[in-house]
Amino acid sequence: MSTQLNYDVVIIGSGASGMALALQLPTHTRIALLAKDSYQQCSTFYAQGGISAVLEQDDSFELHVADTQNAGAGLCDENTIKEVAAAGPAVIEWLANLGTPFTMDEQESSTSGYHLTREGGHSRRRVVHAADATGKAMHQTLNANIARADNIDIFEHSVAIDLIIQQQRCVGAYVYNRKNHQVNVFAGKKMVLATGGANKVYLYTSNPDGATGDGIAIAWRAGCRVANMEFIQFHPTCLFHPKAKSFLITEALRGEGARLLLPDGTRFMPRFDERAELAPRDIVARAIDHEMKRLGAECVFLDISHKSSEFIKSHFPTIYERCKEFNIDITREPIPVVPAAHYTCGGVMTDLNGHTDIQNLYAIGEVAYTGLHGANRMASNSLLECLTFAFTSARHILSTLERVTEPAPIRAWDESQVTDSDEEVVVSHNWDELRRFMWDYVGIVRTNKRLERALHRTHLLKSEINEYYGNFRVTSDLLELRNLVVVAELIIRSAMSRKESRGLHYSLDYPQLLEQAKITVLTPEQSSGKKLSLVE
């Protein structure tokens, strides 16, 4: 039996942006916080590096803006960068006041009191962190504060199917419960997508299993524009081991002097960029990809063993212990690493308040395109973006909530015309095929022919999946596959429209950089692919 639950604000996603938004709203606001899996299954929990913030006298907002724009290959929005950079100190102060256990500077060399690291693309040390598990510490702190809030109801194992639109405004969502298999209506005066990224569309990824692009897909189906979907960041260094599923080796290792080596022990990054291991991620990932293909190597190696054992264990305890589980002692030997899909730089288009094209619908965090990341995300800007837009969207929601009327009655989910599937193999087979051809054809290095092959396969899969969706009751695997194929098509079409190589998008057919930097904007009305607009 379908149920309708009514709230002031419904937040779909329980990562940093979703939780921060919930905590920013006043206690009289009735909030539903939907977690797709258990509460810990989000990208925030696995983030290692830290949060960018200008806190020292030798740093400035202008430098942070310049570094971000440089990493974004000239495609970042200047107003957005300024807003986010300026928010850095307030974000750190808010998190610290909530109880986030940031690592402090024991040497007392920083005026802020925090131990700051430097990562790829940064010209200064400005990354605040909690050892090498910042995301986990931050998530646990936010979670503890959420648990004490009487106005926030948490719904785990809840997967959004589609948004509900009435008179051109978003009034709710159909949500599938993975435990009891029931589809309920969550109605809200304000609806927020905080669903994270889409990198499970690739075979190899650093992301948790839930990163299937749900928010991007359902916003697209509802009528929202998306932008810059071709820019998928591949993290250069994920642990290469058959049993080490999706374990990221933080960029902070390279910030502290770790070197990338070929299987014979030769260092190679200085040949690709004068910044060597501290070059932006796209350059490092492409260099690793090039060397692996040139040599036919399964991986390369990241070596920090020239540092003292005490330094390594104190600064990178999580990585040390995790590698030790696989008999890799990082104090004495290099770590085998490979690139993996890591971050979705594009997404649902929003303004500086996190508001989308649809009235009363917001998108914050990795699901959103704000203009911050441009053609490449600078390290540790993502958590800062999550918090910044949680703050701005909370202010906008609060200032407009009283003017929003209750939605008209919403029709319950109808399963009267469908049956249980007797061919789940179709879902598992298509899931595997999709992720494999995306890795092979739409990966770190692209060509026109590879993209055309991928688009053709996407069309075939989309037809199969839509037919299956129309005939059988939904399952979480089917819903994720339905969203992944939409996201795959958006990535491919965006990549096909860009006739240059810029940032994370590298094409062998168009290796040069165009003089004018333009973002890629797709609208649902143009989903046939015949009309793709490029706007400044």
In angstroms, the CA 20 to CA 404 distance is 22
Sequence-distant (6+) residues with CB within 8 A of 142 are: 16, 19, 20, 23, 98
| H or E element that contains 501 | none
Nearest-5° angle of CA 424, CA 492, CA 377? Answer: 105
Which DSSP category does 151 fall into?
Answer: T
Residue 21: closest CA among 168, 123, 112, 152: 152
Encode burial over 149-177: b for 16+ CB neighbours within 10 A, e otherwise: beebebbbbbbbbbbbbeeebbbbbbbbb
Residue 393: closest CA among 31, 2, 1, 6: 31
487 half-sphere exposure, CB direction, 13 A CA radius? 34
Q: Tell me which amino acid residue 8 is.
A: D
281 is annotated as an active-site residue = yes
Specify the residue for token string 């925030």: 44
**Active site residue: 118, 225, 281, 322, which one?**
281
Specify the residue for token string 């502290």: 256
In angstroms, the CA 291 to CA 305 distance is 22
Catalytic sites, residue numbers: 281
